[in-house]
A = this chain, B = another copy of it.
Amino acid sequence: MIDEATFFGEVSDTREEILEATYYALCEHGYAGLTISKIGTHFEKSQSLIYHHYDDKDGLLLDLLEYMLEQLERQVPFPDAAPEEYIDVVVDEMFDETGSQGGAFTQAVIELRAQAAHDEEYHELFRRSDDFIRKQLAQIIRTGADRGVFDVDDPKESAALFQTVLIGVQTARLTADTGTIAEAKAEFRRYVDTCLRA
The interface of chain A, by Cβ under 8 A from chain B, is 30-33, 107-108, 110-111, 113-118, 123, 126-127, 130, 134, 153-154, 156-161, 163-172, 174-176, 180-181, 183-184, 186-188, 190-191, 194-195
Contacts and interface: CB of A to CB of B under 8 A. Distances in A.
User: How many copies of the shown chain assemble into the complex?
Assistant: 2
A156 B174 CA distance: 20
User: Most chain-B CB neighbours within 10 Å: which of A130, A134, A183?
Assistant: A183
A124 B107 CA distance: 16
Contact of A168 (B126, B171, B191): B171
Nearest to A108: B117
Contacts of A156: 183
Contacts of A115: 32
B116 A174 contact: yes
Contacts of A31: 114, 117
30 contacts: A30-B118, A31-B114, A32-B117, A33-B118, A110-B117, A111-B117, A113-B175, A116-B174, A117-B174, A123-B174, A123-B175, A126-B175, A127-B175, A130-B176, A134-B180, A153-B190, A156-B183, A157-B186, A160-B181, A161-B165, A161-B184, A161-B187, A163-B172, A164-B184, A167-B168, A167-B171, A168-B171, A191-B195, A194-B194, A194-B195
